[in-house]
Structure 1
Amino acid sequence: MNRAQNAPPPAKLIPNLGLKDRNTFGFDAKAELAYEITAPEQIPELISEIARQKLAWRVLGGGSNVILPDNLPGATLLMNISGQEIISSNSEATFLAVGGGVNWHDLVSWTLENDLPGLENLALIPGTVGAAPIQNIGAYGVEVADYIDSIEAFDVKDQAFVTLTNEACCFAYRDSYFKQNPQRFIVTKVVFKLPKAWQARIHYADLAKQFSEGSTPSPEDIFLAVCKIRTRKLPDPKLIGNAGSFFQNPIVPNEKFETLLKAHPNLVSYPDAQGKRKLAAGWLIDQCGFKGQRMGSVGVYENQALVLVNHGDGTSKDILGLAKCIQDKVRAEFGVSLQIEPNIL
């Protein structure tokens, strides 16, 4: 079959690719067949070939929210689609289209440089734009879903490119339609809707503390404050392997919260949906004595109990073993179950 004129070349194949630099835990994983995806048009043909050969497969972005095993058999699609551009604007908002392989923090910086505020609370979150909606990343009172207009993706089940509206994505706390349907969609582009009537969102306690009462911080001020907080609390993956927050903050009914509060007056929590309360997972883990502890080559970060780290030679088996110890102790002490946030491949 002749390739259409100006069509991109097929995805580049790299056999037995080491992924130590492609996952923020720094696990020494290896992909049997790695394919570099630089254009959406490469995906249909590749997926058809994967299906024909009956290969296991997965998509890997920045590797910031995954736990990789030692070996990844079959095909690993490296999401490297780049580019961002303003595609339209009206009196209410600016619409921005961004490739799935763009670095998330680089995008946040770019929006502020181009006077397009809104994403500043999400600064310094590692990973790629294509992965952001799958997990519905969030920080300091803001979720990426708040600013997504639509998403373009390849639907593996129907073998066609589709556009999903914000509503169709079924966003929830660290959840989405994509996460609920693993391996059905490959996100290639995200269209953001950034409102022109910008308002500072600094109600989260840690962020509010960075500003004097009654002050009106700019988007740049909030960006710098978030970077400062995250740098202080979270280790640099280039220095200590980690995937950021390892557990989701558990959400419990108000009745459960009131019971816990009586037993633990210093319990840290946040308002959630009506009749529910979100507990600080880091506080629960800290109270169980795990903060700063090591288990062989892995451990719990000394400055933030919510972060599990790889001190050098750890493996996915090691980190999951530590996670189970933490889950068991928190359940025994508080009667609360902790859910692992990163994807286990």
Structure 2
Amino acid sequence: MDEALLRSLTPSVLGVLCRRGADFAAAEDAVQDALVEAVRVWPTDTPRDPKAWLITVAWRKFLDATRSDASRRRREDLVEEEPTPGPAPDADDTLQLYFLCAHPSLTPSSAVALTLRAVGGLTTRQIAQAYLVPEATMAQRISRAKRTVSGVRFDQPGDVATVLRVLYLVFNEGYSGDVDLAAEAIRLTRQLAAAIDHPEVAGLLALMLLHHARRASRTAPDGTLVPLAEQDRGRWDTKLIAEGVVILQSALALDRLGEFQAQAAVAALHADAQTAEETDWVQIVEWYDELAALTDSPVVRLNRAVAVGEADGPQAGLKALAELDDNSLPRYTAVAAYLHAQAGDLEVASALYVEAAQKASNLAERAHLTRQAARINVGRRL
């Protein structure tokens, strides 16, 4: 059973139903029913044209649901004559589905869930497992999202930037359960890149590939976090790095810089260094300056402070950090602890690491920061 094929066909099948006049929510339900039927039937009776098979079955599921719902009699003109099964149409509605699922009226969490369901072809159970929430909770979230976008015309223009933010949210969730969300985000972004020629789409894909290339080295066998400077670079995926760099260079050549291209440029500079000591921190600071101009993001300026500390020394980094003066920023205290440690202020660094550990959002990060505090305390006693 080729689950990857099923997921890749989901957007185009859903698009066909919507083009035929089906309401988005009803069409999405019908497509999910067709996918379940495919899982049951295909292992013993694989169709010659999988896409056409899915369209036919999904349309019949939609018609059955419509006929059984008296409140939807206004759709009777759709059910008077069922289209004759035949070759699947060539039209690709994937891009419109991306825009619809990332509609501005949806919350980020709802947009992510709907994208994974409607474009990614994942089941509610798989999405719930990936987000570590009960299936019923995720079902309600998806149902609300579908109701929200049901009145939106399928051919309305969408916002590429919103779609990219949703895909980046998916990527940053990482993985859990039986679905690797980072890999799924890369698959969906590749799909989007094939549907639209846009430098920021390419920039996001490059960024994902460059980050994903380091995944195997990010944790030790016992699950503890391994900082970038301490990672085994021999475990980095050089094939993904090379692909990401080529995609990034093509995007930058268009001279339409965006935030994902700038982030990917930073990731590429890290990937290019054979050792942590060879990292070109001066160039990284320059890219963070570009990012700050594009986004005016305090998170970008926080990361820039770290880069300044590496390029010009910890005191320069602390000076850049002081310009933020925002303890509420995630990782602000951890960055302050690191820079103070680099500057030799071990007592201050230790206290800040303890404070940062208390603020950590997950157990792995908390354990890492606690170990940093303990390491400094041991060093002070020696």
**TM-score, normalised with respect to structure 1:** 0.26
Structure having the higher helix fraction is 2
Q: Which has a greater percent of strand?
A: 1
TM-score normalised by L of structure 2? 0.24
